[in-house]
Chain A
Amino acid sequence: MTRRARMPDMARRDREPLFRVDPAALPPLSPEPQAPPRPVSPARVASGAEGYDLDGTRVLALPNPTSPEEEDALVRAFLSGLEKLFSRENNWTFLQPLLLSMEHCAHCQTCSEACHVFESSGRAEIYRPTYRSEVFRRLYFEYVKGGGLISAWQHGTVELNWPLVARLAELAYRCNLCRRCAQTCPIGVDNGLIAHEIRKLFSQELGIAPKELHAAGSMLQLKSGSSTGMIPAAVKDNVQFIDEEMTEKTGLAAETPWDVEGADILLIHNAGEVLAWPENPGAFGVILNAAGVSWTMSSDIAGYDSVNYGLWYDDAQLARVALLHAEIARKLNVKKIVIGECGHAHKSLLVVADRLLTGDLRVPRESALTVLRDIVVSGRLRLDPGRNDFPVTLHDPCNMVRLMGVVEPQREILRRVCPQFREMHPHGVDNYCCGGGSGFAIMSGHGFEDWRSDVAGRKKLQQILDAFSDCLSTSIPKYVCAPCSNCKGQIRDLLAHHGAWKQHRILYGGLAELIVNAMADVRPGFIEWEWR
């Protein structure tokens, strides 16, 4: 492990990382994976893209200034963005929360103990929630509030140069924005929000954001309809294929209705499900059709992809995608939008964008979990819980649970269809992030995948292992229910990285699949115990 980083280290001009993950120094897992810990890949820096290293991995393609003048120009652009972040005309969206978090931190470090990244890294200083915030806070007091000697004495200072700006940009992407830290802050300071706002500064002023979130994320969605790149014709083809598969697999006729005007429900999935886990949208179709629900999917641009990556890094992109979703529902004249199993899509359209939608764009929006709960509880489906007689635990997606308060509907379902359901600890609003939150689950390259499995997801893996501690034998198949697409992707990578499928036969999947697996009218064996 590199030496304990201090705040001034952010401005260091050498190329050594401030911290490098040493797998041997990470908190041990219990039981230990049989395979020795894989060394975390060193950053494979593309030629000509050398940068000031933060921790040996990177998610941003930062500019590579070659002269002091170019560096100064970038620092000036950063300062320009910093100023805008604290102005009403540029950041009315989060000005009040940001000001409060900037001005009232007592530096008590209570938040640090709540952070899974900090704890799982072996308590690396740079991942302490307050480290990033404090660097940013010092810049705020110096450059936005006017600075001066008294301010420096009261709030401290930090040298501002391009290395610091570059490392700060990266460091904003070492926080899952799960806001578990904010939950414990006695004053209500929100370090997750500060990381979010730093991301916005870089995106909205300097055009710097991870390509998976921006160029291949929200921009692709606005252009072609989905961050997966699927155009409307492709998604309809894929879903038709899923319908055929479902019909064959379940023995029930599965047909997805498209663009039905006046339907009760416009169902919007995370389009990643269609490609990576087709059994999830397939299961939704089976359930809704069997329950006699009036529903439709939309083949309009963005109408078939609920993702809204702007939530994590850019307010304009957030609003643009949310407006598209609402506009499609308005055009179809549906009674409500229902968001499938995708946590951030829930939070973006039901919560954060709530104060962006006006007039007839205010189409009612609901979680799929309550819709599924109502169907299961209503008795409209014949259910045989005995078909799910294997250990099941539930991951609480932060966006749905801590940040939205949807806690019980998924549990009501699991208690009815899974006789061996057991909770993780802690759970509900006190849960730990899977480590894939805020876009991490879709980011890779330069060793980042290893970082999020070894560090960001470590706490979640331990929670999963603990939940199944009484049945870790490979003779007992086990299921981690993750009703969120990004969490599911992260848990897949986490289980694979640590060999949990091979070693303990722990599988993962969504909630709808467990319901269909328990449907007495469906051919047995909907859940296939194969790694995917």
Chain B
Amino acid sequence: MTVLVYTAIALGSLVFVIASAARAVLYARSPMHLRWELYPVPHEHPDRVSHGGSYFEQSEWWKQPRERRFRGELAVMVPEVLFLKALREHNPKLWRRSFPFHGGLYLLAGAGAGLLVLAAVSRLAGTAWLDGAAGHVARWTVAGVGAAGLALAVSGALALLHRRMQDPALRAFTTAGDIFNLLFFVMALGTLGAGYAARPPGSADALGIAIGILSWDASVQVPRVLAAGLVATAALAAYIPLTHMSHFIGKYFTYHAIRWDDAPFGDSRKMSVALAASLAQRPTWAAEHMKADGHSTWADVVTTNPTDEAGR
């Protein structure tokens, strides 16, 4: 059973990483799109960011040095990622449910990472330090963060589920999958929490299991309910990037590659190459005015006047 748990955790983590990366690569490799930005764009000059302005507000903007302030992006990204700022501003009712849920997941991820660090240190330096003051602080911090994360994530998921069922506007757009997704969180994390809280005296704690995974120590005893919670959570981790819940990946692109992508073509060689490649594509749109026969390239199509007699 212990090996089964280890295998599930390893596989779940692997699928999560690979599927997330694959999704990111799919988006990153999409062809350069036409500009479609949305203001305010936070990397603009601070004088303009305050009112949502762009470099187009400058006369002869192409002669002006273009600023791209990463600090400005950070000032938007950090509160957005950590506190779901846009949701708080535009949908506070939902934010009161969504923030605990997401905050709980962040804490859980933090606790998981903390456990791995502690386990790795213990593997390298031995476990004696864990009985010292630093070890106690580290263990209790991780345990506290993990417990808070579980409680927030489960209660947040339940609150989201309740709202989804109660609010007619949300209910009309809710699929069986949406309900399943939230129940999956409740079930997996709830079992994990219950299994951990109810584990018999003397059985392995979280750090013990983490050390066991790193050393693949099959002698570690994982109680059944806790094992079920760990396997379910591993399955959940593998499932997330396969669904729309992978918006933590999509959001990077919707913000950085679309809303904030105000890069002018200028003399960019990268853009020139990308545009040349796209203009060489052969569209097959069927409408008469498109003049796209599958042989003509986009460059041919857009330089054809569909109203010319010769173009008919």
- Using CB atoms and an 8 Å cutoff, list the residues of chain A in contact with chain B: 6-7, 77, 80-81, 84, 88-90, 92-97, 99-101, 103-110, 112-114, 125, 128, 130, 134, 153-156, 179, 182-190, 193, 203-207, 214, 219, 222-223, 315-317, 319-320, 323, 336, 350-358, 362, 364, 366-367, 370-371, 373-374, 401-409, 428-430
Judge whether B33 and A94 touch: CB under 8 Å.
yes
Judge whether A405 and B40 touch: CB under 8 Å.
yes
8 pairs of residues in contact across A and B, judged by CB atoms under 8 Å:
A109-B173, A155-B177, A352-B34, A362-B265, A374-B59, A403-B37, A405-B48, A407-B57
Question: Which of chain B's residues have a CB closer than 8 A to the CB of A113?
Answer: 90-91
**Bound CA span A193–B37, Å:** 11
Judge whether B31 and A186 touch: CB under 8 Å.
no
Interface presence of B264 (CB below 8 A): yes
Question: Which of chain A's residues have a CB closer than 8 A to the CB of B245?
Answer: 106
Judge whether B307 and A96 touch: CB under 8 Å.
no
Interface presence of B70 (CB below 8 A): no
Interface presence of B301 (CB below 8 A): yes
Secondary structure call for the A interface = helix
Question: Which of chain B's residues have a CB closer than 8 A to the CB of A88?
Answer: 30-31, 281
Interface presence of B46 (CB below 8 A): no
Judge whether B176 and A356 touch: CB under 8 Å.
no
**Bound CA span A11–B276, Å:** 42
Interface presence of B133 (CB below 8 A): no
B10-18, B114-122, B201-209, B250-258 - the one binding chain A: B250-258
Interface presence of B166 (CB below 8 A): no
- Closest beta carbon of chain B to A455's beta carbon, Å: 19
**Bound CA span A103–B285, Å:** 24
Question: Which of chain B's residues have a CB closer than 8 A to the CB of A104?
Answer: 244, 246-247, 250-251, 254
Given the interface pairs A355-B271, A366-B60, A407-B57, the reply to whether A107 lies near B34 with Cβ below 8 Å is no
Instruction: List 6 A-B pairs, minimum CB-CB distance, nearest first.
Output: A405-B54, A188-B254, A154-B177, A429-B52, A96-B30, A223-B307
Judge whether B44 and A222 touch: CB under 8 Å.
no
Judge whether B175 and A156 touch: CB under 8 Å.
yes
Judge whether A207 and B287 touch: CB under 8 Å.
yes
B304's nearest neighbour on chain A, judged by CB, is A320
Interface string of B163-204 (1 = CB under 8 A from A): 000010110111111101000000000000000000000000
Question: Which of chain B's residues have a CB closer than 8 A to the CB of A222?
Answer: 305-307
- Closest beta carbon of chain B to A440's beta carbon, Å: 20
Judge whether A96 and B57 touch: CB under 8 Å.
no
A311's nearest neighbour on chain B, judged by CB, is B34
- Closest beta carbon of chain B to A175's beta carbon, Å: 15
- Closest beta carbon of chain B to A302's beta carbon, Å: 10
Judge whether B169 and A112 touch: CB under 8 Å.
yes
Interface presence of B302 (CB below 8 A): yes
B257's nearest neighbour on chain A, judged by CB, is A96
Judge whether A186 and B84 touch: CB under 8 Å.
yes
Question: Which of chain A's residues have a CB closer than 8 A to the CB of B56?
Answer: 350, 366-367, 370, 404-406
Question: Which of chain A's residues have a CB closer than 8 A to the CB of B90?
Answer: 110, 113-114, 184, 186
Interface presence of B219 (CB below 8 A): no
**Bound CA span A407–B26, Å:** 35
